[in-house]
Amino acid sequence: MLASGELRPDEHQGQIITKLQALHIDLIGYAEKTSKKKNLWNRLLPVNGKENFPKGLYVYGDVGRGKSMIMDLFFASAPLTSKRRVHFHAFMLELHQAIHDWRYMDGASRKKLHGTTADDPIPPLAEKIAKSSLLLCFDEFQVHDVTDAMILGRLFTNLLARGVVMVLTSNRPPVDLYLGGLNRELFLPTIDMITEKMDVSSLSGPIDYRMERMKGIQVYYHPLGDVATKALSKAFWKMTDHEVADRTKVGPEVLEVQGRKIHVPVADKGVAVFSFKKLCGAALGASDYLEIAWHYHTVIMVGIPKLGPEMRNEAKRFVTFIDVLYENNVKFLCCAEVAAEELYPEGHGHFEFQRTVSRLIEMQSEEYLAKGHAV
């Protein structure tokens, strides 16, 4: 990527790359080593006084410094098949659902699915995660909820005991996690564990690459036509270093939400391109839009028509879509038939749509564009 001009030399990124390269080497043959362990106690046995598994990495720093990009490069090349890269919000939603299902499961079902009838769901869920993912890469790690805070300490303890290696990116150092939160003192042992069990490293370079790429880019274009299309294609190239038509480099990708698949026609480096028809003309909902918002820091939408009363369902979905992007600080570029104020002049939900208009205008501001993704 350096050789092709997609990246520029950055000593701060280079320091993290060096640490991830060392972890990459430690992971070579790791799956085979862990598969030979007879039981949990063997996994816990120290070798020469040290734990018998590689140390994970916790990378924190300001937005736009390249944390997610570097982690994704590491994940793509990691010498394991049992690995997973997931946005932390999405992972916690899955975990809460699994805990909920466990609570309402009878003993026989628990025994059949997990080999235990225990009331405590954390150890068997951690075992299930460990069997499918020896490497977990969490993007946008943060803790805002007291329930999450209480779960994470025990979950991480169980995952680490089972040899799961974790790489986390966050905008906050561990000491600032759940700062000011309810009963935070109960979360402090988890912070201590992260600090002790993981290599905590700062990526604090002076350049916000994401904002630098956004400089001079208009985010809302109208009317529809060649001018808007070419402008958005140029914006995609500026943000990804690839042409939107180069399908060998920019997609397609597939996201999975509760068993459903969302086809992403064009995507690269956290930037995705969708048509209005595909996202708002189809029967999609908030959970689908959340997956998109967590997976991509920038979304480009093309072909937004002027909406009338006969398109009230499309207008409602568009409202939900923009709400989700806004609440997760996703950058939104688009081309529309008319100005934002004229998108939905009449019809059911017209009054509520004015909030969407207000958000579309705010999402064009430098203040909004400078916000960190999903913070």
Reported as a single tens digit per residue, the pLDDT across 346-371 is 988 888 899 999 999 999 998 898 88
Peptide bond connecting 252 to the previous residue in cis, omega within 30 degrees of 0: yes
Backbone angles phi, psi at 133, to 5 degrees: -145, 100
Q: What's 49's domain CATH number?
A: 3.40.50.300
Check whether residue 194 and residue 65 sit in a common domain: yes
pTM of the model: 0.76
Query: Under a CB-based contact definition with an 8 Å cutoff, are residues 189 and 154 in contact?
Result: no
Beta pairing partners, 300: 273, 333
Check whether residue 248 and residue 192 sit in a common domain: no
218, containing H or E segment: none
Residue 2 in any domain: the answer is no
Query: Under a CB-based contact definition with an 8 Å cutoff, are residues 264 and 254 in contact?
Result: yes
Q: Which residue type occupies 278?
A: K
Listed in sequence order, the DSSP H helices in the chain are: 11-27, 30-35, 40-44, 67-77, 88-103, 107-114, 122-132, 146-161, 188-197, 209-214, 226-240, 276-280, 286-295, 312-327, 350-362, 366-369
β-pairing verdict for 266-268 and 271-275 = antiparallel
Answer with the one of 202, 232, 251 that is the final residue of a domain. 202
Range in 65-69, 106-110, 234-238, 308-312 with the lowest mean pLDDT? 106-110
pLDDT for the residue 297? 92
pLDDT for the residue 248? 81
Check whether residue 226 and residue 274 sit in a common domain: yes
Compute the distance between CA of residue 367 and CA of residue 68 in angstroms, rounded to an integer: 22
Average pLDDT over residues 192-202: 95
∠ Cα 152 158 159 (to 5°) = 85
Check whether residue 350 and residue 328 sit in a common domain: yes
Check whether residue 228 and residue 279 sit in a common domain: yes
Range of the domain at 15: 11-202
The predicted-structure confidence for 328-349, as pLDDT tens digits, reads as follows 999 999 999 999 999 999 988 8
Compute the distance between CA of residue 346 and CA of residue 342 in angstroms, rounded to an integer: 9
Beta-carbon contacts of 209 under 8 Å, excluding residues fewer than 6 positions away, are 64, 65, 66
Select from 18, 144, 19 the least CA-distant residue to 92: 144
Q: Which residue type occupies 19?
A: K
- Given a cut of 50, whether residue 101 has pLDDT beyond it is yes
